[in-house]
Amino acid sequence: MITNDARLAMIWEGCLKNDRKQQELLYKTLAPRMLAVCMRYAHDKDEAQDILQEGFIKMFNNAHKYRGEGNLEGWIRRIMVHCAISRYRKQKPMILVDEFPESSSAFGNGYNEHGLEVKDILKMIQKLPKTYRSVFNLYAIEGYSHQEIGSKLGMTELLSRTTLHRARTLLKDMVTKLTTSELCLAG
């Protein structure tokens, strides 16, 4: 039985030779997972699909730069994240973090206890202002430090921390509103 990594490696070899069928196969194999990555950074599915397309074009144009070190899928995922960041930089809003009042609450692991599904959480993340969404995703999901986020998004480390705090506060408020409205409907 051939493993998924071995299958991807064989497809990748064809991609390096500019074999269009292998490129299409790689796209069909990875597009659903990469679209999920892009959805976390996008406002809606159309924007996520644009990021996905940009990412695959960039990946195919730079295929020769993959040295075979590490996981191929991880390398492609990083390209998708960088495309999302590039899009963010181009569309950077004028007001960064003063759109919402500061709150002392933090977004924790509460969504599990409320029975929310991943799709509900994703919708909430997509409702965040672009800066909040980008910082939250880079820190909480991709694992970047505040210093790395600051340099990628052109902000200070402190602003990254503040933005993450405010994003968590907004997410917690969304969870509270959703679960409160569900309790009202059930009662």
60-95: pLDDT as tens digits: 999 989 988 888 999 999 999 999 888 877 765 433
Quickly name the fold that domain 110-186 has: Arc Repressor Mutant, subunit A (1.10.10)
Quickly name the fold that domain 4-90 has: Rna Polymerase Sigma Factor; Chain: A (1.10.1740)
Domain ranges of the chain: 4-90, 110-186
Nearest alpha-carbon partner for 78 in 134, 142, 152, 122: 142
Q: Return the exposure string of 40-70: e unless at least 16 CB atoms fall within 10 Å of the residue's CB, then b.
A: bbbeeeebbeebbebbbebbeeebeebeeee
Averaged pLDDT of the chain: 81
Q: Give the Cα separation of 111 and 121 in Å (integer).
A: 8
Q: At what angle do helices 45-61 and 20-41 cross, to 10 degrees?
A: 140
Instruction: Report the predicted TM-score, pTM, of the whole model to 2 decimal places.
Output: 0.60
26-62: pLDDT as tens digits: 999 999 999 999 998 888 899 999 999 999 999 999 9
